[in-house]
């Protein structure tokens, strides 16, 4: 059996034996059904009290809006859950000293790290499937035309990318501290800060763009965004969750910040950067001399 598979089997066993895993499964299911019921209730209210003529097209448009609302609501919750879960991925082994012992056996730290990342990615996929099943079960009880499979799959694209990015960020956080409480606190505070900064930077960027060019409006201000606001907005992975409304062509009160292709590229960049930073941080685990000192020494010798 390869070294990577040994690490992966160990990680699966550690995850499934942790009481947090059961709590996670229950929380995922409960939250998914609760948000699906809320979205369904809003959908019914729009049909009952709305002033639109009820046609198949109008029902599909309302379902698209309900689906965007569903993924936006549950997406933020799942991002917090997976960020916290991934940030704890190394805490058990660090607390028990298992990770230090394993690393003294001269195993590959890259395989050690990537096995955890792969397991967390599988957990994200499982969570999204549960969320989609909850949505389909709730809406299947209504005698209305369902969206086609392509729209349902497309609606999952940016929630999936968001979860993967925040999972990579959480695993990076896991390399920074040993205590479970500390990494959870860092993850939650970081998520709250990123969410607040994202919305604030978009609002301030829109105001700054329209102030510099009075011909711009909320629907096209992105073309005039000052550089500093572009950096604030596009360096923050929280914006990815907004991609669902862009992908499904649901009306939005703001100009789209990116198209589907640009959003995918952004997500890949975020994921690669956080994974690289995590590997870099984890590289110090087995070194008697910090990697930074070794790097400076190597540069000095040249």
| 3-state helix, strand and coil shares in percent for the chain, rounded to the nearest 5 | 80, 0, 20
pTM, entire model: 0.85
Nearest C-alpha neighbor of 70 from the set 2, 155, 130: 155
What band does 287 get if pLDDT is binned at 50, 70 and 90?
very low
How far apart CA 248 and CA 63 sit, in angstroms, is 11
How far apart CA 104 and CA 82 sit, in angstroms, is 29
Q: Are 38 and 74 in contact (CB under 8 A)?
A: no
How far apart CA 17 and CA 36 sit, in angstroms, is 30
> What pLDDT does 283 receive?
79
Whether the per-residue pLDDT at 247 is higher than 80: the answer is yes
DSSP 148-173: PHHHHHHHTHHHHHHHHHHHHHHHHH
Whether the per-residue pLDDT at 234 is higher than 90: the answer is yes
Maximum Cα–Cα distance across the chain: 77
pLDDT 10s digits, 197-208: 999 999 999 999
pLDDT 10s digits, 13-65: 877 787 778 888 888 899 999 998 888 888 877 777 655 556 767 777 788 88
Higher per-residue pLDDT: 293 or 137: 137
Residue whose entry in the numeric block shows the structure tokens 């059996």: 1
């Amino acid at each position: 059996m390869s070294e990577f598979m040994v690490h992966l089997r160990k990680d699966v066993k550690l995850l499934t034996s942790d009481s947090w895993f059961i709590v996670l499964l229950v929380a995922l299911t409960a939250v998914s059904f609760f948000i699906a019921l809320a979205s369904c209730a809003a959908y019914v209210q729009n049909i009952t009290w709305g002033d639109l003529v009820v046609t198949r097209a109008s029902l599909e448009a309302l379902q698209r809006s309900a689906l965007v609302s569903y993924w936006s609501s549950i997406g933020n919750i799942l991002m917090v859950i997976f960020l916290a879960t991934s940030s704890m991925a190394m805490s058990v082994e660090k607390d028990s000293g298992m990770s230090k012992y394993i690393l003294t056996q001269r195993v590959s730290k890259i395989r050690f790290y990537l096995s955890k990342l792969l397991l967390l990615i599988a957990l994200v996929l499982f969570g999204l499937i549960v969320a989609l099943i909850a949505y389909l079960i709730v809406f299947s009880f209504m005698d209305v035309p369902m969206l086609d499979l392509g729209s349902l799959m497309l609606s999952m694209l940016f929630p999936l990318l968001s979860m993967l990015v925040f999972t990579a960020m959480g695993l990076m956080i896991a390399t920074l501290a040993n205590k479970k409480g500390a990494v959870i606190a860092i993850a939650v505070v970081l998520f709250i800060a990123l969410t607040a900064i994202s919305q604030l930077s978009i609002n301030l960027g829109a105001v700054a763009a329209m102030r510099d060019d009075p011909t711009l409006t909320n629907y096209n201000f992105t073309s005039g965004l000052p550089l500093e606001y572009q950096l604030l907005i596009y360096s923050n992975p929280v914006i990815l969750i907004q991609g669902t409304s862009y992908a499904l062509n649901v009306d939005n009160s703001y100009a789209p910040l990116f198209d589907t292709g640009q959003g995918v590229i952004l997500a890949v960049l975020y994921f690669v950067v956080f994974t690289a930073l995590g590997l870099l941080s984890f590289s110090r685990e087995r070194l008697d001399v910090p990697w930074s000192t070794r790097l400076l020494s190597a540069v000095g010798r040249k």
